[in-house]
Amino acid sequence: MNPDNFDGTTCFKTFLVQFRYCTRCNQWNELGKLHYLRWTLKGVAAQVLCGADEMSYRQLVSRLHSRFGCSDMEKRYQAELQH
């Protein structure tokens, strides 16, 4: 089972639920999760990989969640448009 790609245009929480399901089915360890998560990032979402060479899986998930999490996305997009 392979996880879908994430490009930042959809809800990260939804992607993460599916990604975690794949990790359990494939029995990936933390390093495997990290490598596969990095591989699934495309487009704008892949930009979080800049400077993330030493990040752990949990740190990368945290960075992605803070950048692409679903909560208050409308407010965030409106703020970005105003600037």
pLDDT in tens, 10-61: 889 999 999 999 999 999 999 999 999 999 999 999 999 998 899 999 999 9
Instruction: Give the pLDDT score at 36.
Output: 96
CA atoms of 38 and 36, how far apart (whole Å): 5
Instruction: Give the pLDDT score at 21.
Output: 96
Kindly report the pTM of this predicted structure: 0.80
Ranges of each domain in the chain: 12-82
- Contact predicate 1/28, CB 8 Å: no
CA atoms of 59 and 56, how far apart (whole Å): 5
